[in-house]
Amino acid sequence: MDYQDCFAFQQKFFKSNVTKGIPFRIQELKRLKQVLQQHEELLYEAIYKDFKKSRKETYLTEFSLLYKEIDLALKKVKKWSQKRKASVSLANLPAKSYIIPEPLGVSLIIGAWNYPYQLSLAPAIAAIAAGCTVILKPSELPSNTSAAMKKMINENFDPHFFKVIEGGVEETTALLKLNFDKIFFTGSVPVGKIVYQAAAKNLTPVTLELGGKSPAIITEDVDIDMTAKRLVWAKFLNAGQTCIAPDYVVVQESIKGNFLKAVVARIEEANYDVANENYTEIINRKNFDRLHSLIDADHIYYGGKSNEETKTIEPTILSEVSWEDTIMNDEIFGPILPVLTFTDINQAIEQIKSRPKPLSLYVYTKSSKIRNKIMAEISFGGGAVNDSLMHIIETSMPFGGVGNSGIGNYHGKYGFDAFTHYKSVLQKSFWIELNLKHSPYTDFKFKWLKRLIG
């Protein structure tokens, strides 16, 4: 089946209205949960082959989030899909108004490689809950996980409803030419722009989950050890290949020395080592070389060594970094942490604001004044106070970027909304008609019309 055929079949299936039924959506969500559980072993093996990601980390950062999303959707899909009443203005009485959530239709989901299961399947869960059909194009970089997902989905789902199509740039470019009802993309900013342009040709609504440089701001009043512990975990999880990882730290000058010592102590305690299966490889040679070139020997405070053969780079801390240094230009997406300092919080805020809006921002402080100032003045996708990364597990909050870090959001009900159109309907009967709006107009009618309509 080629793309065109697959797309045409899905369009036909969607128009049959089968996916709109709540029992169907529940059945398919349950199927996905069961299929995932049955294939956990295959998926663990595939991701280990691709970038040595361990079972425990895979469960923690991929499966646990997916099961949580499925369970929530199963519990709430009926409520989310219900027609809901809206108020009616005087000018329309007697009448009723209501809003009908309807699935957008045939959706294309394009995944990124760094959390290959979660980033492909969480949007798919949202699409299924909303009643859409799904063509999923996982990232081609982790080839084993892409193949495992293809096997798992294509052997267990009707392709008219849910199909995985593997491929890279060529295949994605061909898919993007089709007139999808929704495109959900996770990946880099430059490719996000390509996807947005392709979608614009068909006026297809998009969700773009992109990246960027996410700062962590640390003031002098914090618990330094706990801050270091939380930051080190968030930065070196998946070897820094996390879209919401703290990209760089801006710490108050007065605690810089103690903070750096605490970070090093925590890195050593965590014992990041591929042999221990608790430290992930860099995905490919291209990224390894890119990261390697970002390590400026003059700035190494800790680490800096790498192994070409195992594609690993040890946790690396760069100090005495300035806002103008090369490492501050683009998202790092690896285990290198530049540490900058500030003496005046206003200057740090201005620097962050002069750059593209980050996907995440973390502030570690006991000062409510500083926290409130940062929340009020800096625009960012989402984040945390006195922690990093963990906001992602809260399905009660939307997850997504703003400006350069993305368009739209998902997780929980917000994911359902990303694949849903809210259709607004005003319903009247025939027993009365307000004459005021009808021609011929008179001053009397106009006076009352202004009062009723405003």
Residues contributing to the site for ligand NAD (CB under 6 A):
110-114, 119, 137, 139-140, 168-169, 172-173, 186-188, 191, 194, 209-211, 243, 331, 333, 359, 401, 406
Closest distance of CB 190 from ligand NAD, Å: 7
Closest distance of CB 60 from ligand NAD, Å: 16
Q: Based on C-alpha coordinates, what's the Rg of the chain?
A: 25
What gap in Å lies between CA 156 and CA 151, rounded to an integer?
8
Task: Using the minimum distance from each CB to ligand NAD, give the nearer residue, 145 or 172.
Answer: 172
CA 370 to chain centroid? 27
Instruction: Find the helix packing angle between 116-130 and 143-154, rounded to 10°.
Output: 30
Decide: 180 and 146 in contact? Cβ < 8 Å: no
What gap in Å lies between CA 21 and CA 27, rounded to an integer?
10
Provide the greatest CA pair distance for the chain.
86
What gap in Å lies between CA 397 and CA 201, rounded to an integer?
31
Q: How many CB atoms lie within 10 A of CB 280?
A: 28
Residue nearest to ligand NAD (CB): 211
The structure tokens listed for 249 are 């730290």
Decide: 258 and 221 in contact? Cβ < 8 Å: no
Q: Which helix (H) or strand (E) holds 192?
A: helix 189-201
Decide: 54 and 48 in contact? Cβ < 8 Å: yes
Decide: 134 and 162 in contact? Cβ < 8 Å: yes
CA 98 to chain centroid? 31
Of 28, 62, 69, 209, the catalytic one is 209
Task: Using the minimum distance from each CB to ligand NAD, give the nearer residue, 243 or 348.
Answer: 243
Task: Using the minimum distance from each CB to ligand NAD, give the nearer residue, 179 or 424.
Answer: 179
Of 6, 28, 243, 281, the catalytic one is 243
Per 3-state DSSP, what percentage of the chain is helix, strand, and coil (rounded to 5)? 50, 20, 30
Residues facing residue 339 across a β-bridge: 249
Decide: 16 and 54 in contact? Cβ < 8 Å: no
Task: Using the minimum distance from each CB to ligand NAD, give the nearer residue, 112 or 232.
Answer: 112
Closest distance of CB 168 from ligand NAD, Å: 5
Decide: 324 and 340 in contact? Cβ < 8 Å: no
Closest distance of CB 293 from ligand NAD, Å: 17
Task: Using the minimum distance from each CB to ligand NAD, give the nearer residue, 19 or 405.
Answer: 405
Closest distance of CB 123 from ligand NAD, Å: 10
In this structure, the strands spanning 106-110 and 182-186 are parallel
Closest distance of CB 271 from ligand NAD, Å: 26
Evaluate the omega torsion of the peptide bond into residue 440 and state whether it is cis, within 30 degrees of 0: yes
Residues facing residue 312 across a β-bridge: 307
Whether 6 is catalytic: no
Closest distance of CB 290 from ligand NAD, Å: 11
Residue type, 196: Y
Task: Using the minimum distance from each CB to ligand NAD, give the nearer residue, 211 or 304.
Answer: 211
Task: Using the minimum distance from each CB to ligand NAD, give the nearer residue, 205 or 415.
Answer: 415
Closest distance of CB 361 from ligand NAD, Å: 14
Task: Using the minimum distance from each CB to ligand NAD, give the nearer residue, 197 or 307.
Answer: 197
Whether 314 is catalytic: no
Give burial (CB, 10 Å; 0-12/13-18/19+) of 57: middle
What gap in Å lies between CA 239 and CA 336, rounded to an integer?
9
Supply the residues annotated as catalytic.
209, 243
